[in-house]
Each structure stands twice: as C-alpha cells, then as structure tokens.
Amino acid sequence: MYKVFINEKRLILSSEPQDSPKTLNYDGSHSFDFAIDLLENTASQGLNIYLDNVEELWADFRNYFKNVEAAGGVVINPENKILFIHRLGKWDLPKGKIEKGESREVAAVREVEEECGISNLQLKDFLNATYHIYTERDGKKILKTTYWFHMLYSGKETPKPQIEEGINEVSWKNEAEIETVIIPSTFQNIKLILADFKSKCK
C-alpha cells in the first residue's frame, strides 16, 4: 500500500479497496487524472485507487509524473528531543533534494547539516519514505519521494536556521511539545514519519 498526499489530502494506492471517502478500481492513467482533479478541485478529503497487483499500479503511477527524490532526518539529541525547522508558517523535519550522484544517506545528512547548522551527525536506520504531489510553475505535476533516516546528535552546537532557504527557526522539541506545538502545525507526511519513528525506535 502507498499513501500519497495531494493538497494534504490522502490518495491510497492498494491491492484491494480501503476505507476511504471514495474508491476507484484502476482503469489506466485517466484514473490518475480523476484523482488529481478530485483532490485538487473538490472538497473530497481522500481517494483509494486499487488493483490486484499494487506494484504494477505504483509503477504506472510513478511513470505518470516527473519524479523528484529528497532525503532528510529525524534527529534525536541526548535529551531525547527531535530537531524541527519552521518555514512558511509550518513546522517540518529537515530535508532536501538528492543531488546527482549522491546517495540517499549522504544527502540526508548533508541537508540536515545545511538547514540546521549542526555537524557530526550519527546516521542510524532508514525509517520510511513519504510521497506527495505538487505543481511546478509551468503546470507540470511532480511526485516527490522523501527518504527518511533516524540520526543521533551529541554535539554542543546551537542550531541555526538556513535563512536563504526560507527557514526562520530551528528548535529541539520534546514529546509534549511535539503533541501541542508541532502536530497542529505540520504536514500529513510529517505526522506519518513521526508515527513510524515512534513505533520503530522507541
């Protein structure tokens, strides 16, 4: 099963029907046209497209879009706090595009260091990938895949936001602050990866 967000609304691609506001048996690429139109231009909050062979469905879906890959981290300090960035009115986890010839792991560490102004991160395990669709200025639809890694930080540096990337704050948050500050003001994909992290690493 794959969960893709369009305008913060959930598109589920699966091998059998799921609990969703609307379900659709896959019938070619026009199913994707319908999904995008529904989730971008109506009040519908979700759609499930299903096909017995979900990997075939996923391959068709990926081929329908221009693909962009990014990587980032869930960074933990000795106080068991998680590092967040604040940009454009939303809390987020540090991440960025993978450069040509760069591995996912190297990109994840580089982006966290650049966006948060810290160094000497210890890379742990791969957590999961998240997916969302956005529109470029020329109208082209982009499927962005972000690969997330668990990281540890034990240094003494004070995090500094990468202002030129629109980041205005970097902050360590404890579990209570995540529930009261982060969750109400973050993206659905970030909620997913935080839940994954909590189930796998705590």
Domains recognised in the chain with CATH numbers? 2-64 (no CATH), 70-201 (3.90.79.10)
Q: Which residue has the tokens 């989730």?
A: 39
Q: Write down the pLDDT at residue 144.
A: 97
Residues of the chain with pLDDT under 50: none
Q: Write down the pLDDT at residue 202.
A: 58
Please answer whether residues 140 and 63 qualify as being in contact, where contact means their C-beta atoms are separated by less than 8 angstroms. Answer: no
Rounded to a whole number of angstroms, the distance between the first and last alpha carbons of the chain is 24
DSSP state of 186: B
